[in-house]
């Protein structure tokens, strides 16, 4: 994701998920739903996509039998690079 794309997504997420703080472009990075450390988006504990992935015990949404669900397609509208990344993973499966 380019710096300009991160800035746009950060602005959209700040408006959509107002919890008393501003989401900064540098906050938009995550090592994935199964990550137990490393780099995770500060909103990860409330992320419905992460909760779903953890519950289904999938490495990522690319491996899910329900790919691409409504939660994910809504996310893709804000982060199209995420879709491209998951599609690339699916091609290699």
Q: What is the pLDDT of residues 22-72, one digit of tens each?
A: 888 877 766 666 666 655 555 556 678 888 988 999 988 999 999 989 989
Non-local (6+) Cβ contacts of 23 within 8 A are 10, 13, 14, 17, 42, 43
Non-local (6+) Cβ contacts of 64 within 8 A are 53, 56, 58
Output the pLDDT for position 64. 94
**Domain edges within the chain:** 3-91
Residue 1 pLDDT greater than 80, yes or no: no
Tell me the pLDDT tens digit for each residue of 6-19.
788 888 878 876 66
Q: SS3 for 33?
A: coil
DSSP secondary structure letter of residue 51:
H
């Amino acid at each position: 994701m380019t710096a300009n794309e991160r800035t746009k997504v950060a602005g959209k997420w700040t408006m959509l998920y107002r919890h008393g703080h501003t989401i900064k472009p540098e906050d938009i990075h995550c090592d994935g739903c199964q990550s137990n450390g490393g780099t995770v988006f500060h909103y990860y504990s409330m992320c419905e996509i992460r909760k779903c992935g953890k519950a289904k015990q999938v490495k990522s949404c690319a491996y899910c039998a329900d790919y691409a669900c409504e939660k994910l397609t809504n996310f893709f509208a804000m982060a199209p690079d995420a879709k491209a990344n998951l599609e690339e993973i699916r091609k290699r499966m």
